[in-house]
């Protein structure tokens, strides 16, 4: 026997109304999202015209370095050694795939030998 969709103990979700405070929150979040984008557009234009324009050119690399550095904190020596080998490969080859392969191979090799 199939359970009925409408039971006396279950609330009727379809008849609920969204209160004014929820609409105010939705409106506030929409204004905040638009404001952040507008401020970013204006700030980006001003930075491009200033002497700090180099930051925008180097920003993707800086973000990657900060993510890698924060992920290395608290890691064992094996991870640091593999990261150093990957860094050396990156400096020597300037090739992303070679760098990733060298880092993975270094980590696997060091783990295989029990370092």
Query: How does pLDDT run across 55-64, given as a tens digit for each residue?
Result: 778 888 889 8
Reduced to 3 states (helix: H, G, I; strand: E, B; else coil), residue 47 is helix
Mean pLDDT of the chain: 85
Of residues 106 and 20, the one with the higher pLDDT is 106
User: What is the pLDDT averaged over residues 105-114?
Assistant: 93
Question: What's the predicted TM-score (pTM) here?
Answer: 0.53
Residue 98 CB partners (closer than 8 Å, separation 6+): 89
Task: Give the Cα separation of 16 and 42 in Å (integer).
Answer: 41
Answer yes or no: are the C-beta atoms of 106 and 85 closer than 8 Å.
yes
Report pLDDT digits (tens) over 14-57: 666 778 888 899 999 999 999 999 998 898 888 888 887 887 78
Query: Is residue 91 over pLDDT 90?
Result: yes
Query: Helix 77-93 and helix 96-112: axis angle, to 10°?
Result: 150
For residues 43 and 58, what is the distance between their CA atoms, to the nearest angstrom? 17
């Amino acid at each position: 026997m199939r359970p009925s969709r409408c039971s006396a103990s279950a609330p009727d979700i379809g008849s609920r109304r969204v209160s004014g405070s929820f609409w105010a929150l939705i409106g506030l979040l929409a204004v905040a999202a638009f404001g952040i984008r507008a401020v970013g557009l204006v700030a980006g234009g001003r930075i491009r015209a200033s002497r700090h324009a180099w930051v925008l050119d180097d920003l993707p690399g800086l973000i990657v370095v900060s993510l890698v550095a924060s992920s290395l904190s608290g890691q064992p020596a094996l991870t640091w050694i593999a990261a150093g080998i990957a860094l050396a490969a990156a400096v020597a080859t300037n090739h992303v795939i070679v760098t990733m392969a060298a880092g993975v191979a270094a980590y696997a090799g060091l783990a295989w030998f029990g370092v």
